Structures are given as C-alpha cells and as structure tokens.
Amino acid sequence: MDSLLHRWMAQQQQSGHPLCLMLDGHHEARQRLMADRAPSHYCNLYSETAAAELANSGPLILLLEQLNEPALADLLLHPESNWGWLASLPASDLAGVARHWRERLLRGPEGQQALYRFHDNRTLARALAHLAEEHWPAYLGPLISVCYWHEGCWCHHENPAPGDYPVPEPPPWLNTPNPQAEAILHANILRYLLAEHSEDLAALVEFQDPRIWLAQLLEQARTWQWREPVQLEFLVVRRLAEATGSRVTNWQPRADETPGEHFERVAAQWHREVGSSE
C-alpha cells in the first residue's frame, strides 16, 4: 500500500475517526463489499432521490472496519481505475453523509438536470483544486478528511470546518473547469472546418499543422475574452481564410475597447472589406 495512503488511514484511525469508502456503483467490487457488510454499514446514494431508478448501479458509501479485507485491498492496489475515494467521518453513521451528497446530486435547471458525479475521484480532485478553501466545508459537509488518487499519486485534504451545510446558490463547485472541454472544443472545430471549409483547411495543411494553428488561435480568443460561439466561429473561419489567402485584417484590440466592442469593430471591418472587393 502506498505510504501516504497508509499514513493517512492510520492517522484517521488513531484520531478515532471512522473511515468510509465512496465507490462507483459500476465497479466489480460492489457486490463483494456489500456482501461483507450489514445493511446499516453501507448506503446506496441514488435511492430516495430523483435518480432512484438507477440505484442498483449508482454509487455507494460504505463504512470500513477491516482494512485488510480482500475486496478493499484490491481497490487500493488499483487506484488508476478511478473507482472513487476515501474519507473519514465524525461517527459511524452514514445518514448525515448520505443526506449531504444527495442534496448535491442534481445539477442544472428544472427539466434539464444532470447527475453530478461526486463519487468520481477526478471530480473531487478538480473541485478541491478549483474551489477557494472557504468553500470546502459546504462541499465536503461532515467529512473530516478525504484521500483520493489524482494524476498518478495519492492526495489528501482536511475539511477546515466539518458540519451540516445547506447547498449554496449557485453551488460554486459546478463552475469547476472540465479539462476535457478544451479537447472536445478542438475536435468539434476541426470537424466543422473539415465539413464546411475543407478547401481552406487543406491549403493550411500544406504549411502548418491545423491542431497547432487552432490551439494558438483559441489562446488568442481567451486573451481577448471572445467566448461566445459566434465570436469563435468568426475568428476561426476568418483567420483560416486569411492564412490561406492574401487578405490581412487588423485584429488587435484598442486600449479603450471592451471585448464586445472589439469583436463588433473587427467583424464590421471584415464585412466592409469583403463588400468593397466584390
């Protein structure tokens, strides 16, 4: 067992804090861990919620008493499978923890709600990295400490003020950046250019890698705070045409411009130039 994980578990036990396991309900260890426990020592977190129909495959929270049980040992030897995370509690009672996470289960407006994957160690890691520490108690609730696998190693954090907290509105953890979002945006833009602007894209390939070109362009968009789809489409399509043609536009913002004013000026300039050349 990893030394940091071992030390964390030992420290929590020495402090008299019961340990629990948050487990992805799809993991093969689910049935083995449930079979070795009394029903009061585990809780299906989707039951008694709007996602109750998914309860049989939903995440579980389980009390850990025998740290050498085979099913748990197998999990701890393979943290890279992203099965969940560990935490310590103030008492051997799962009711408060279950209530806390059930209240944070659904995200989005009524009728468009999605399940928040709080049981995923990657979700937990991103939230704790993104949130200011003052928001940790409302996120972690009664949990005293958490230990999780992230980017090739075990990590742990202490909850500054464990307790029972209402869900903030809006919940700050829902603004956590998704590291996959950038890759998805890149793939979608390249797919769009291939379908709608294939000739210009083929011309670009002659002298530049489109992926590098696009990455540089999106970094420029972030600098200019051009985030809207219409702004990104304009920037990508026009810069592609410019890269493979002779037209050159003055793209740089002026000192007194807002991001919106900057976009409107450049778009108007482009349309004037196109109109005058026709």
pLDDT in tens, 156-183: 999 999 999 999 988 999 887 766 767 7
- pLDDT tens, position by position, 92-127: 889 999 999 999 998 877 766 789 999 999 999 999
Which pLDDT value is given to residue 90? Answer: 93
**pLDDT of 204-220, one tens digit each?**
998 889 988 998 898 88
How far apart CA 1 and CA 16 sit, in angstroms, is 21
Residue 275's pLDDT band, with cuts at 50, 70 and 90, is: low
Beta-bridged to residue 115, according to DSSP, are: 106
Nearest to 97 by CA among 140, 159, 34, 57: 140
pLDDT at 92: 87
- Assign 92 to helix, strand or coil: coil
The per-residue pLDDT for 22 is 98
Segments making up each domain of the chain, as ranges: 3-174, 180-277
* Alpha carbons 275 and 40: distance in angstroms, whole number: 74
Say if residues 136 and 176 touch (Cβ distance below 8 Å). Answer: no
Asked if pLDDT for residue 65 goes beyond 80, the answer is yes
- Answering whether pTM is above 0.75, one says no
pLDDT band at 184 (very low <50, low <70, confident <90, very high): confident
Distance from C-alpha of 169 to C-alpha of 166, rounded to nearest angstrom: 9
* pLDDT above 60: residue 1: no
